[in-house]
Structure 1
């Protein structure tokens, strides 16, 4: 199966330690540019493990855009559907890390290139039941993005294509955060697989309602919900069973792409087990198979937090052997 990743590919400007202290003049932290963007990280995660992936996005006609397309190609991600536009610039995300490797973000995404993905662009993409459409809530966060994302979701459904939603809630992406809970809920009910963090569920639906929301998604037809919780155990839920797996201890340096590595590893693993949507629907009914896939995904995420950056931090098979 092939994984199609829809959404932003951007530059992560990652802080590189403390600002110089040998002067009384204020100084900014130094930043190093890395290729990133949650959907792009997943595409690279799949490809580095040996799977087939394609990126569906737009970049600006600028130096950053050229760099991102070259990096995706370097990691064997199909870039046939990464278009270049003069209508917007390549998005930037400045990422500050605390002593525990946890992040804070400053996004520069106003009129970003990926917001100009059109239905005409997406009409060129062939959808079928041996592909998976992966996207994040950033792709439904503004009015410019909604029509094209909805078009792609409808196209996926019409062609019996699996859909994976990583909620990946970033308030700074949203034009109006009060719309996020309902909009994400509506998109989630169209998914086959949902990945969310405990923190995101609490922020969107309140801590006490998190389990209720998961059950509502399963009742709507979602086949599998994966809930991460930082370094705490991972929970998975289907309509007929649920399970919990511990996360290994890790020397955390940077959590930038940890969640993307997890879901990318999970999607890669299922492509080695099933060939189409019908086979997945049968596969997901067996707890031991879901457990094995989740354990593999956990190893991917655990490796990534020990590395800096995004694309470069994602594991190969040798890294997690």
Structure 2
């Protein structure tokens, strides 16, 4: 199976150490541009591990857009559906790292190019039961994104396509965060695989209702929910079983793309075991299969936090030996 990733590809401006002091003059940390964006990270994660992936997005007809397309191609991601546009600029995310490698974000996405992905654009994409569609909640974060996302999810359903949602909740992405819980819930009920962090579930649905929400998703037809919790154990839940797996200790340098590496590793592993969505439905009913895939995904995420950046930090198969 191949993996088709829909959503933003952007520039991560990653902070680099401490600001250089010049007497009493105010200064800022230097920022280094890296290729990133959660769906793009997943596309690269799959490709670097040896899988087949493609990116569906829009970038500005600008220097950053050209760089991003070149970087995706460098990592063997199919960019046939990465369109250029004059309607918006390539999105930027300034990522500040604290002493523990944890991130805070400032997004520059007003009128960003990826917000101009249209139903007409998406109508050119071939969907089949031998392809995984992966997307994040950023694809429903604003009203201009809803028609295209609604269209591709319906097209995926008609094609019996396997769909994966990484919630990847970034409040700064949203036109109104009050819309997030309902929009994400509606989206989640249309997919087979969900990856969420415990923090996201609590932020969106409250600590008392987080587990209930997961069960509601499973009852709606979701096959497996993967719940990360920083460096704490990973939890997987299906309709029939659940399990908890520990995360290895790591020398954390940068948590950028760690979650993307995790879900990218999980999807890559799945594509090596099944050839279509029907086979997946049988495969995911076996606890040993889900455990093995989750263990592989954990190894991918653990490697990534020991590196800086996004694309560069994602592992190859050789890095995991």
**Per the shorter chain, which TM-score range?**
over 0.9
For 2:24 and 2:30, locate their aligned partners in 1 and report how far apart those are by CA, in whole Å. Answer: 17
SS in 1 for 2:208: helix
1:6 matches 2:6:
yes
For 2:33 and 2:181, locate their aligned partners in 1 and report how far apart those are by CA, in whole Å. Answer: 32
Q: Deviations over 1:220-252 (max 9, x none)?
A: 000000000000000000000000000000000
For 1:304 and 1:238, locate their aligned partners in 2 and report how far apart those are by CA, in whole Å. Answer: 26
Match of 1:244 in 2: 244
Alignment of 1:126-275 (within 5 A): 126-275=126-275
For 2:49 and 2:208, locate their aligned partners in 1 and report how far apart those are by CA, in whole Å. Answer: 37
Runs of 5+ unmatched residues, structure 1: none
For 2:216 and 2:123, locate their aligned partners in 1 and report how far apart those are by CA, in whole Å. Answer: 32
For 2:220 and 2:22, locate their aligned partners in 1 and report how far apart those are by CA, in whole Å. Answer: 59
Query: 1:28: Cα distance to partner?
Result: 1.6
SS in 2 for 1:5: strand
For 1:48 and 1:208, locate their aligned partners in 2 and report how far apart those are by CA, in whole Å. Answer: 39
SS in 2 for 1:207: coil
Structure 1 window deviating more from structure 2 (239-248 vs 18-27): it is 18-27
Match of 2:277 in 1: 277
Query: 1:22: Cα distance to partner?
Result: 3.4
SS in 1 for 2:104: strand
Match of 1:96 in 2: 96
Match of 1:46 in 2: 46
For 2:209 and 2:120, locate their aligned partners in 1 and report how far apart those are by CA, in whole Å. Answer: 39
Q: Deviations over 1:275-306 (max 9, x none)?
A: 00000000000000000000000000000000
Match of 2:63 in 1: 63
Match of 2:31 in 1: 31
Match of 2:80 in 1: 80
Normalised by the length of structure 2, the TM-score is 1.00
Query: 1:139: Cα distance to partner?
Result: 0.6
Query: 1:208: Cα distance to partner?
Result: 1.4
Alignment root-mean-square deviation, CA: 0.4
Query: 1:314: Cα distance to partner?
Result: 0.1
Query: 1:210: Cα distance to partner?
Result: 1.0
Query: 1:182: Cα distance to partner?
Result: 0.5
Query: 1:49: Cα distance to partner?
Result: 0.1
SS in 1 for 2:255: coil
Runs of 5+ unmatched residues, structure 2: none
Query: 1:27: Cα distance to partner?
Result: 1.2
4+ long deviations beyond 4 Å:
none
Q: Deviations over 1:40-67 (max 9, x none)?
A: 0000000000000000000000000000
For 2:261 and 2:154, locate their aligned partners in 1 and report how far apart those are by CA, in whole Å. Answer: 27
Q: How many residues align?
A: 321
For 1:292 and 1:176, locate their aligned partners in 2 and report how far apart those are by CA, in whole Å. Answer: 38
For 1:90 and 1:264, locate their aligned partners in 2 and report how far apart those are by CA, in whole Å. Answer: 23
For 1:276 and 1:175, locate their aligned partners in 2 and report how far apart those are by CA, in whole Å. Answer: 36
